[in-house]
Structure 1
Amino acid sequence: MRISWWKWLPFQRWRIIGQTESADEIPDRLPRNGVALVGETERPKWIVFDCPCRTGHRIMLNADPGRNPRWTLNRVKPLTISPSIDFRANQRHCHYIIRSGQIEWTEDNDR
């Protein structure tokens, strides 16, 4: 997956920065607030991004309707994903919603 230089510019809302057919093709580092899709843009299999808490963990959300739990791209511009993302691992808890290209943190997170 190739990412254009302008997608690395800071201070952008959450947005889709690229699409690939395989999760192995997603780079180790993604632009801030950048989301990569695995599968077709109209019907993605995975939604992949680096957690907005900026501690370095990667989030991979299932978007395949044949598997549960699954997340949906409600809107592409501005980016809206539902339901909320609730990451818990290694004494870390990040719980938020990506709505209209922005992060809305919930009250029960440890960021």
Structure 2
Amino acid sequence: MKVSLWEWLPFWRWRVIGQAGSADEVPDRLPRNAVALVGEAGRTKWIIFDCPCRTGHRIMLNADPARRPHWTLNHVQRLTISPSIDYRGSERRCHYFIRSGRVEWAGDSDR
């Protein structure tokens, strides 16, 4: 998956920047507020992005409804992912929602 120069410009809202056939094709670095999809057109398997806390950890969400848990993605107008994303690392907890292209942090997050 190639990321165009245009996508590296700073955007305030979250958006989908492309689709890859496998997770190995997603670049190690993604633009700020950018989501990459993995799978075939119309059948997304994974939603991949760098955590909005900016500490460097990558988030991979299952989007395949045949497996549990799974997240749904709506990016027709502004990116919305549901349910919430709850990352629990050894040193921190990042719990948030992405709704209408914006991050809404949950109160129990260590942000």
| 2:17 is the alignment partner of 1:13 | no
Separation of aligned partners in 2, 1:33 and 1:26: 15
Per-residue CA deviation, residues 51-105 of structure 1 (Å, 9 max, x unaligned), is 0000000000000111100000134420000000000011210000000000000
Q: Across the two proteins, how many residue pairs are aligned to each other?
A: 111
Separation of aligned partners in 2, 1:41 and 1:73: 13
TM-score (norm 1): 0.96
In the alignment, which residue of structure 2 is the partner of 1:101? 101
Q: Which runs of 4+ in 1 moved over 6 A?
A: none
Separation of aligned partners in 2, 1:55 and 1:89: 11
2:39–2:45 contact (8 Å) kept in structure 1: yes
**Structure 2 gap ranges (5+):** none
In the alignment, which residue of structure 1 is the partner of 2:51? 51
TM-score (norm 2): 0.96
2:34–2:49 contact (8 Å) kept in structure 1: yes
1:17–1:35 contact (8 Å) kept in structure 2: yes
Question: Structure 1 vs Structure 2: percent identity of aligned residues?
Answer: 72
| 2:3 is the alignment partner of 1:3 | yes
In the alignment, which residue of structure 1 is the partner of 2:39? 39
**Structure 1 gap ranges (5+):** none
- For 1:11-90, what aligned pairs fall within 5 Å after superposition? 11-90=11-90
